[in-house]
Structure 1
């Protein structure tokens, strides 16, 4: 076992990342009825900068690690990521946390398919099967909302926004894979949050509010939780292989379910319970290709 091969630590950091991310989403949902979307995105991004810069400084990558040879690549990745963040938070305001996170599980499936078109990777039965299962789950979730109005109409809009966020996240992940060949992971993350801040500031003409002290605290914690979640995720992949961490990706869904039940007192819908195994099996099928393709190009 090498100094960097510490699977127990890697798994612990991956689980911690899921808890921190769920905590961020709880804060976002708690303020979504009182704070405009752009303002939420701004605070989440602004306060995520603090742990990210601290992390880069401790690694000796600040500020020299921010130098880049591919500014347009960063612009594309940051733009896709910022738009995905807006769509995700808008979906969270309209859905249970567990539903929003479940739809987000489509991102790696969509990324695998997008890699075929954008990176010239081969189309495999694992990718097609994962996509088919994932979208079968989405149909199960969306079907009861077709033709609905009122509160159900808001839920339908949330499902569509969740799908949009998953698609944009997949495009952002494709850019991350491309940038990782030459760019620092810290720089990729920092440019993303800075772009999200700028995008959020552009919503000022649509009205921001002066938050109460309690709401302000939740907004600040949303950013800090998000920043530390990214750091924990980054370190997890430093200490353990992606294939070893893959099963723990699905534990991350447990925390939003508990938050819905225990914090927001929201029940799990029948469509969610039916869609859950389909989407999760689709994500697992797409991920299984990694363990069965040892000669897959890096």
Structure 2
């Protein structure tokens, strides 16, 4: 159960990150927010290693290409999802995101040579049905809704996010968490530094705390997902991505006071059921 539990925690933290980013997008550009995020991560890891030499394990790696690819797709995911949620409500953005389990299964079969059991595909399908039930009322009025650009950003972020899953699985043999935090953060900081400074707007104390909080949230979420893939296969963990529906409902209510409709609650129940049954099927394998 350790892999699924870490997966659920990571998805929840990423959901909170998306909600916090949506709040920040009303007053700040993506470049500034991401610059502070990556600077915070680098600072936290640097302080931890200064106080506890060797914390997080070595930074050197036997797989530089995999880490480089992971850093690139993580940066792409961060940019795309920030832009998507600046244009879309959380629930609509997550509609696109919930195609991720299918992409993960396909990538796992292609790049990792894993053979997802039929039950994994089946419970992903059940989870997607739960998503469809939950979002059907909102989709009925989509024609006059959010900009198409928002959905394109969400789709791009979903592909990048799914690629991170498979790369995490390929890197599962490397001990320690320093690598999975430092290399993506270093690339992000270098890319965002000129863009963030050129689009800088003085943040309020609250906004600055939120930006720093984003760095802490993405660090914790990244560690949870990386550790999850050390303990379970991509095909086993993929259906748990649907738990993001439950998290999106939670944060929508907590931050914007949106009370979920009965259809949303029914869809969430189906998603939870699919996750539980997926875990039972994997345990019997």
Q: After TM superposition, is the score higher than 0.5?
A: yes
**Residue 120 of structure 1: how far off its partner (Å):** 1.7
Q: Which secondary structure state, in structure 2, belongs to the residue aligned with residue 203 of structure 1?
A: helix
Q: Which secondary structure state, in structure 2, belongs to the residue aligned with residue 263 of structure 1?
A: helix
1:201 aligns with 2:193: yes
Alpha carbons 1:109, 1:130 under 8 Å: kept: no
**Residue 260 of structure 1: how far off its partner (Å):** 1.7
1:121 aligns with 2:114: yes
Alpha carbons 2:101, 2:238 under 8 Å: kept: no
**Residue 54 of structure 1: how far off its partner (Å):** 4.7
**Residue 133 of structure 1: how far off its partner (Å):** 4.1
- The 1:274/1:129 distance shift into structure 2, 3 A limit, reads same
Q: Encode CA deviations 1:148-189: one digit per residue, 9 max, x unaligned.
A: 24xx133x5434433332221111111111122246432022
- Alignment root-mean-square deviation, CA: 4.2
Structure 1, unaligned runs of 5 or more: 294-298
Structure 2, unaligned runs of 5 or more: none
Question: How far, CA to CA, are the matches of 2:245 and 2:194 in structure 1?
Answer: 32
- 143, 146, 150: which one aligns with 1:158: 150
Q: Encode CA deviations 1:70-109: one digit per residue, 9 max, x unaligned.
A: 2111111111111111112222223333554565454344
1:171 aligns with 2:163: yes
Q: Which moved more, 1:173-182 or 1:201-210?
A: 201-210
**Residue 44 of structure 1: how far off its partner (Å):** 2.0
1:87 aligns with 2:80: yes
Residue correspondence of structure 1 range 74-113 to structure 2 within 5 A: 74-100=67-93, 103-113=96-106
Question: How far, CA to CA, are the matches of 1:282 and 1:161 in structure 2?
Answer: 27
Alpha carbons 1:102, 1:279 under 8 Å: kept: no
1:44 aligns with 2:37: yes
Question: How far, CA to CA, are the matches of 2:281 and 2:149 in structure 1?
Answer: 33
